[in-house]
Amino acid sequence: MTSHGAERQRGVLAEWNDARGFGFITPSAGGERLFVHVSAFPRGPRPTAGREVTYAPRRDQRNRATASQVQYVGRSTRRAGGPRVRLVTGVAVAFFSVLAGLWVWAALPVTLLLAYGVVSCLAFLMYAVDKSAAVKGAWRTSESTLHAVALAGGWPGALVARQLFRHKTVKQPFRTIFWVTVVANCAALAWFVVEAPIALP
């Protein structure tokens, strides 16, 4: 937890492991290096070693020195990640438009359409909570739970949340498994529409 009255400090991102989504900041004033997770950075280009940053120092539940609320020095804080967020939002909207069309054509029960909406909202909230927990060093939602919700039909909400919160967008094998759940869910939906008997309410 951040100490009361702690001021923002300046340092350099000395090391960065892009594949695993974390690195270490060396304080400009000297002292202990701080662990920093990708979720502590603003949306935009991926962090790179050697960048000068400011940050809020804190201690997580394991008493590690960590950095939160990281900002690049001399860089605009505009939302550079906006295009990707718009892209995945468009994908989610297109998917729900297809579901709505299937319902209109009596190829999909309204209960299934609503279920996709509810589970997608649940997935979005779960990613938001997990991202917050990652920043605070608190108890995390298991990756298997996130994958299960995506497989159950929550992948549109998860897709948007991953880009909006810049969470779970780098780590492997999480990304691969996530896309496997998307394909599996879409395949199951296609089978249901084509093969399963439809009992409209």
Domains contained in the chain, CATH given: 9-72 (2.40.50.140), 82-194 (no CATH)
pLDDT-derived band at 157 (thresholds 50, 70, 90) equals very high
Burial of 67 (0-12, 13-18, 19+ CB in 10 A): buried
In this prediction, residue 49 carries a pLDDT of 86
CA–CA dist 130, 146 (Å, integer)? 10
**Arithmetic mean of pLDDT, 25-37:** 90
- Phi/psi for 38 (5° steps) reads -60, -30
Read off the DSSP letter of residue 171: -
Distance CA 123, CA 108 (A): 22
Q: Which pTM value belongs to this model?
A: 0.64
The mean pLDDT of the chain is: 87
What's the rounded mean pLDDT across residues 125-131? 92
Give the H/E segment covering residue 147. helix 143-149
Q: State the average pLDDT over residues 105-114.
A: 94
Q: What is the mean pLDDT of residues 173-191?
A: 96
Non-local (6+) Cβ contacts of 115 within 8 A are: 153
Share of residues in the chain with pLDDT > 70 (%): 88
Three-state DSSP at 29 gives coil
CA torsion 104-85-129-15 (nearest 10°) is 150
Tens-digit pLDDT profile for residues 38-74: 999 988 778 888 888 999 999 988 888 999 999 988 6
For residues 92-119, give the mean pLDDT.
96
